[in-house]
Amino acid sequence: MQNHRKINGWDWFDYDELESTNDLALELSARPDITKAVITAVRQTKGRGRTGRTWVSIEGNLFMSLLLKFELKDNAALVFMVSLALLEVIKKISPTADVKLKWPNDVLVNNKKVSGILLEKGEADFIIVGIGVNLVAAPNTPDLLYPAICLQEVGINIDRSKLLIKYLNCFDKLYQQWYNKGYEAIAGQWIKNAKGVGEAIAIRTPKEIIKGRFVGIDYSGRILLNKDDNIEAISAGDVFFE
């Protein structure tokens, strides 16, 4: 079953079950009447994560995909806005919660991953932002790349619809800031909330593990590592803290 509702200019399509909310977003991106939509599902049977991994989709958690028009050149801003918006929502609900960002777009609570974000291309100039948030349960399989946590574990009890509405609100505000002030306004807030700035980290890329000191992010959203006093910019990989 599917429900449709409008919230603050977003078309919200909520399903009982989907294979992946990102797949439905891709279908909707071909529709001429859609400009800005969010797709959610109570159950997701084939959730996917970054680099072909599976996203373990436990019922009660939030699975959503934003479908919006965004130019490819501004992708870096979008990547940081989507994770910042979630950090802000969690901090609003629980101001003392230990929430940090992990490059490129993970949100950590108590140093464990509470969400995952997967950007994909839609039709024409649509971008699909798939976001999974662990609300009531976190996967606990031995093959997990990074330890996971859910919001309930830190005393935050919120259902997926309420979280979604708060999230869209924060995202819209950040979008306005980006629109009015540009990438730097977003990148500045992102780095302030990032874990491990100035510290030794390791980045696992498909080819190698690169170690260095995390010194910042650049205009394309790449992470900057100081490696033997040379600055290296890396565009994709998984960060691990030393």
49 binding ligand BTN? (CB under 6 A): yes
Q: Which residues pair with 214 in a beta bridge?
A: 225
Q: Which distant-in-sequence residues (6+ apart) come within 8 Å of 24 by Cβ?
A: 13, 15, 18, 39, 41, 65
For residues 115 and 157, the answer to whether their CB atoms sit within 8 Å is no
- Residue 173 CA, chain-centre distance (Å), reads 16
CA-closest candidate to residue 39, choices 53, 47, 28, 30 = 28
Q: Which residues pair with 126 in a beta bridge?
A: 69
Please pick, from the candidates 63, 70, 126, 178, the single residue that binds ligand BTN as defined by CB under 6 A. 63
21 binding ligand BTN? (CB under 6 A): yes
Please pick, from the candidates 11, 29, 47, 189, the single residue that binds ligand BTN as defined by CB under 6 A. 47
Pair type for strands 99-102 and 106-109: antiparallel
Asked if omega into 104 is within 30° of 0 (cis), the reply is yes
Convert residues 77-116 into a mask of x (bound to ligand BTN by CB under 6 A) and - (unbound). Answer: ---------------------------------------x
* CA–CA separation, 7 and 156 (whole Å): 24
48 binding ligand BTN? (CB under 6 A): yes
Minimum CB distance to ligand BTN, residue 208 (Å): 20
Minimum CB distance to ligand BTN, residue 51 (Å): 7
Task: Pick between residue 53 and residue 213 the one whose CB is nearest to ligand BTN.
Answer: 53
Task: Pick between residue 67 and residue 217 the one whose CB is nearest to ligand BTN.
Answer: 67
The residues of the shown chain that bind ligand BTN, judged by CB under 6 A, are 20-22, 47-50, 53, 55, 63-65, 116-118, 130-132
